[in-house]
Structure formats: C-alpha cells, structure tokens
Amino acid sequence: MAMDNRMTILEVSGPFREPREPVFSYDYAVRRASWPMPHAVRVKVSIAEELDVVRSKLLGPVTGTPGQQLLIGKLLTRRIADEKLKIAEAEGILMDRRDNIVEPFTGPHGHLFPKLEEWAGREQESLRAEIKNRAGI
C-alpha cells in the first residue's frame, strides 16, 4: 500500500517585504503524512519580474487610487505565491524534509516562469473578476 505523500498547507503568513531584495514573500507551514512535523517554505515573488509582469498582462495600464493599487498588488502577490508553491511541488523542489525557499522564477529558475505565465492566462478571467470585486477596478 502506497503512503499518501501529498503536501498539506497548514498556515500562511505574509506578505513580507524582504529587506535587501526587491521581492515580497509569504511563509507557508507545510506537512506531509510521512513527516513527523511541519516545515516552512518561504515563497519569494519578484516585484518587477513576476508581480508587475503578471499585473500588466492581466490588467494592462490600469490606474486607480494608491489604495486600489495596494489591494491589487497584495491580491496578485498572494495568488502568484500560491501558484509558485504548486509549481515547486510539481517540480519536486519541496520533497526534502527540510525548510525551503522558493526563489523568484528568474535567473537560474527562469525556466519555471512560463508555467506561471500559463497559469495567469488560464486564470485571467477569475483573477480579473476578483480584482474588480475587491478593488473596484
């Protein structure tokens, strides 16, 4: 009988602004049935190379109040972080029983960015609807 080794997210906190990097990050507490205790995964979202690219592809040159822009940024950053966690899991990056960092999908991890773009395309309508509902844009 095979053991269920699916990852379960127990808690998420963030966004945090990384002090020396132009990224936002979220901390996930994750667990697998085979692990005796949960482990941490920090998912970093690059502001320029991930958040701004996804935002412009979804919304184009959208304007709004600073508060609306903040809401949009927070909403998209969380959705991007959630998807990056799924991509990292599918790629086997999170299989080790240790704390992990999912870096921005740039540079050495740039090969994973097309998966994030594909997700944004698939989810474009639902993301736009959520932004309209929450930020009024």
Range from 49-53, 67-71, 96-100 that averages highest in pLDDT: 49-53
Q: Give CA torsion, residues 75, 79, 84, 85, to 10 deg.
A: 110
Which residues have a Cβ under 8 Å from the Cβ of 112 and sit 6 or more positions away? Answer: 84, 87, 88, 91, 105
Q: What is the pLDDT of residue 77?
A: 97
Q: Around 26, how many Cα atoms within 13 Å sit in the side-chain half-sphere?
A: 21
Instruction: With a cut of 60, say whether residue 78 has pLDDT above it.
Output: yes
- For the chain, what are the domain ranges? 7-135
In the structure, what pLDDT confidence band is assigned to residue 4 with cuts at 50, 70 and 90?
low
Question: Are 61 and 8 contacting, i.e. CB atoms less than 8 angstroms apart?
Answer: no
Region 36-49 average pLDDT: 94
